[in-house]
C-alpha cells in the first residue's frame, strides 16, 4: 500500500500539489491524456525546474486556449500567469466528472474535492452547494489542477493520504467583492477541523483548492506517519518569501520485516440474502476503500441455507473503512476480524516494448532476483484492441518481451518498487 504525506511547509495550492506529485514521478503524459478527453478548453501544460531558497522544485506552467489573461484570483503561493475566466456551477462540474471516462477513483476523489469547496462557498454566499458559481475554482485552470492532482494520485497508486498542519498566511487580499482577510472565507470554512501551523508570512499561503484537497482526501493530520519514505518531491509556488515557498510530498510505504513479513487483518462476514450484483458492487467499494484483496466462498449456513462468505484482506490503515463498507453495503449484523502475518515478495512495474506498443509488466522480486512476472491486463487489452491482435497473442508477446528484457540483465535495483 502506497501512502502520500503532504508536508505543507508553505501552505498548499492546487498547482503546487500537482507539481509536487509530478516531481514524485507521476507521469505527465498520463495526466494530460485523460484531461484532454474531458469537455474543457484546449490547454498546454509543462513543468519547469525552479529554485526556492536553495530547494530544487518543480513549477507547473499552464496555458488555457488562446487567451492567457483573466481576472482569476491567485494566491501568493500559486501562479500568476492568469488565464481566461470561466464560470460554472458546482453541479455542472461534478456532472462532467461523473459522466467522464476518468478512472473510477479519480472521479470519486475529484468530485469529493469540488463538493467540499461547493459546500463551503455555498455557506458563505447563502446558497445551496449545487447552485454555487465557481468564480475561482470553476476556472479551467483550477479544474485541471484538481482533476490533475487526482490523476497523479492514481498514477502513483496512492491509497492513503496524510498531511501536516497547514499555515494560511496573514494580512488581506483583494477579491471580486472587495478586500478580504486571509485566510479567505471559503478557505477558513474548509479548514474547520484541520490543524493550522504558525508561519509569519504576509500573503495567502493556502487557497480554496488546496484546502479542498486537504478536506476531501486527507485521512489524518499530524507528523510523519510510521512508514518508510521512498521518494520526496517538491512543488513550487510563484511568490518568493523568506522561507522556501514549496509543498513537499513524500511517497511512503509500510516497512516490512527483513524477511518480507508484515501484518494484515482478515475481515469476514457471512450472508444468505444478497444478489450477485450487490456482491459485485460491495467488492468494488471494498477495493476503493483500501482492501488488499476480496474474495467470496460458497457456504451452507444454519437451516442448510446456501450463503456466501466474504473475506477481505485489509492493511491496518484501511481497516475501519472496509468494515464500514461491509456494515453499510451488506445485510450483515456484524463482522469478525483476525490479525495475520504474511510473507510477501517485493513488487515493481516495468514498461517493455512489444511490436504493437508499450505494455507494463508486474515483477515479483526477492533481493535482486525476479522470481516471476506477469503483464498488466489493462495494458494488454488496450494494445490488443488498438492493434486488432487477439488478446492471447498480445499477452504472449508481452510475456516473451518481458522475459527477453529480464534475461538481458535488467537490474531490478533500478526499478521503482
Tell me the residue range of the domain where 407 lies. Answer: 346-414
d(CA 85, CA 64): 10
Contact 34, 28 (CB under 8 A): no
- Domain end marker among 283, 304, 335: 335
Instruction: Classify residue 79: in a domain, yes or no.
Output: yes
Q: Are residues 290 and 247 in the same domain?
A: no
Instruction: Give residue 74's pLDDT band: very low, low, confident or very high (50, 70, 90).
Output: very low
Stated as kind and residue range, the H or E segment containing 213 is: helix 208-217
More confident residue, 67 or 141: 141
For the whole prediction, is pTM greater than 0.85?
no
Q: Are residues 306 and 322 in the same domain?
A: yes
Here the cell at position 344 is: 510477501
Q: Are residues 228 and 273 in the same domain?
A: no
Contact 45, 60 (CB under 8 A): yes
Output the pLDDT for position 200: 87
Instruction: Classify residue 341: in a domain, yes or no.
Output: no
Place of cell 484546502: 211
d(CA 134, CA 121): 8
Output the pLDDT for position 405: 84
Q: Are residues 287 and 368 in the same domain?
A: no
pLDDT digits (tens, 9 = 90+) for 13-24: 999 999 999 999
Alpha helices, DSSP H only, in 126-174? 140-155
CATH number where 303 lies: 3.30.70.1380
CATH number where 350 lies: 3.10.20.300
From 59, 114, 3, select the one nearest 247 (Cα to Cα).
59
d(CA 145, CA 142): 5
- Domain end marker among 274, 301, 335: 335
- Domain end marker among 225, 253, 281: 253
d(CA 377, CA 300): 34
Strand intervals (E) in 321-415: 336-343, 346-354, 357-366, 369-375
Mean predicted confidence (pLDDT) in 375-395: 93
Output the pLDDT for position 89: 80
Contact 16, 214 (CB under 8 A): no
Contact 16, 211 (CB under 8 A): no
Q: How many domains does the chain have?
A: 3
Instruction: Classify residue 387: in a domain, yes or no.
Output: yes
pLDDT digits (tens, 9 = 90+) for 128-179: 877 776 654 446 778 999 999 999 999 999 999 999 999 999 998 877 667 8
pLDDT digits (tens, 9 = 90+) for 165-223: 999 999 988 776 678 889 999 999 999 999 999 998 999 999 999 999 999 999 999 99
Q: Are residues 146 and 283 in the same domain?
A: no
- In this structure, the chain runs to a length of 417
Q: Are residues 71 and 123 in the same domain?
A: yes
Contact 10, 237 (CB under 8 A): yes
d(CA 393, CA 412): 27
Would you give the distance in Å from CA 133 to the centre of its chain? 25
pLDDT digits (tens, 9 = 90+) for 94-132: 999 999 999 999 999 999 999 999 999 888 888 887 777
Stated as kind and residue range, the H or E segment containing 386 is: helix 377-387
Instruction: Classify residue 340: in a domain, yes or no.
Output: no
Backbone φ and ψ of 72, nearest 5°: -65, 135
**Three-class SS of residue 275?**
coil
d(CA 190, CA 167): 13
Output the pLDDT for position 11: 97
Q: Are residues 55 and 176 in the same domain?
A: yes
Mean predicted confidence (pLDDT) in 347-356: 87
Contact 263, 316 (CB under 8 A): yes
**Three-class SS of residue 32?**
helix
Mean predicted confidence (pLDDT) in 261-288: 92
Q: Are residues 58 and 137 in the same domain?
A: yes
Q: Which residues contact 333 (CB under 8 A, 6 or more apart)?
A: none
Mean predicted confidence (pLDDT) in 292-298: 95
Q: Are residues 329 and 364 in the same domain?
A: no
Instruction: Classify residue 54: in a domain, yes or no.
Output: yes
For the beta carbon of residue 2, count every other beta carbon within 10 angstroms: 15
Amino acid at each position: 500500500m502506497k501512502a502520500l504525506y503532504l508536508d505543507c511547509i508553505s501552505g498548499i495550492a492546487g498547482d503546487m500539489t500537482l507539481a509536487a506529485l509530478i516531481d514524485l514521478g507521476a507521469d505527465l503524459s498520463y495526466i494530460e491524456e485523460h484531461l484532454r478527453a474531458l469537455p474543457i478548453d484546449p490547454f498546454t501544460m509543462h513543468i519547469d525546474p525552479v529554485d526556492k531558497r536553495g530547494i530544487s522544485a518543480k513549477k507547473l506552467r499552464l496555458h488555457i486556449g488562446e487567451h492567457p489573461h483573466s481576472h482569476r484570483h491567485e494566491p501568493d503561493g500559486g501562479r500568476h500567469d492568469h488565464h481566461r475566466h470561466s464560470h460554472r456551477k458546482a453541479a455542472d462540474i461534478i456532472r462532467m466528472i461523473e459522466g467522464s471516462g476518468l478512472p473510477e477513483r479519480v472521479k470519486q476523489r475529484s468530485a469529493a474535492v469540488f463538493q467540499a469547496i461547493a459546500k463551503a462557498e455555498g455557506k458563505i454566499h447563502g446558497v445551496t452547494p449545487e447552485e454555487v458559481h465557481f468564480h475561482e475554482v470553476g476556472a479551467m485552470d483550477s479544474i485541471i489542477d484538481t482533476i490533475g492532482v487526482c490523476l497523479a494520485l492514481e498514477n502513483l497508486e496512492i491509497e492513503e493520504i496524510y498531511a501536516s498542519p497547514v499555515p494560511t498566511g496573514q494580512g488581506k487580499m483583494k477579491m471580486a467583492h472587495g478586500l478580504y482577510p486571509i485566510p479567505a472565507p471559503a478557505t477558513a470554512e474548509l479548514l474547520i477541523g484541520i490543524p493550522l501551523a504558525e508561519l509569519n508570512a504576509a500573503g495567502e499561503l493556502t487557497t480554496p483548492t488546496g484546502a479542498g484537497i486537504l478536506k476531501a482526501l486527507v485521512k489524518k493530520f499530524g507528523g510523519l506517519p510510521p512508514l518508510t519514505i521512498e521518494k520526496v518531491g517538491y512543488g513550487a509556488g510563484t511568490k518568493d518569501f523568506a522561507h522556501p515557498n514549496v509543498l513537499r510530498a513524500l511517497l511512503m510505504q509500510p516497512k516490512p520485516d527483513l524477511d518480507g513479513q508484515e501484518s494484515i487483518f482478515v475481515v469476514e462476514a457471512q450472508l444468505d440474502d444478497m444478489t450477485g450484483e450487490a456482491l459485485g458492487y460491495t467488492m468494488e467499494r471494498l477495493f476503493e476503500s483500501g482492501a488488499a484483496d476480496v474474495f467470496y466462498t460458497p457456504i451452507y449456513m444454519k437451516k442448510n441455507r446456501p450463503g456466501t462468505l466474504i473475506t477481505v484482506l485489509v492493511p491496518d490503515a484501511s481497516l475501519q473503512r472496509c468494515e464500514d463498507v461491509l456494515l453499510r453495503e451488506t445485510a450483515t449484523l456484524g463482522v469478525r476480524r483476525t490479525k495475520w502475518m504474511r510473507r510477501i515478495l517485493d513488487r515493481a512495474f516495468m514498461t517493455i516494448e512489444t511490436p504493437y506498443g508499450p505494455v507494463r509488466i508486474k515483477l515479483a522480486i526477492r533481493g535482486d532476483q525476479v522470481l516471476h512476472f506477469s503483464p498488466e491486463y489493462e495494458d494488454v487489452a488496450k494494445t490488443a484492441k488498438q492493434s486488432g491482435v487477439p488478446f492471447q497473442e498480445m499477452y504472449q508477446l508481452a510475456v516473451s518481451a518481458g522475459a527477453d528484457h529480464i534475461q538481458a540483465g535488467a537490474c531490478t535495483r533500478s526499478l521503482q518498487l
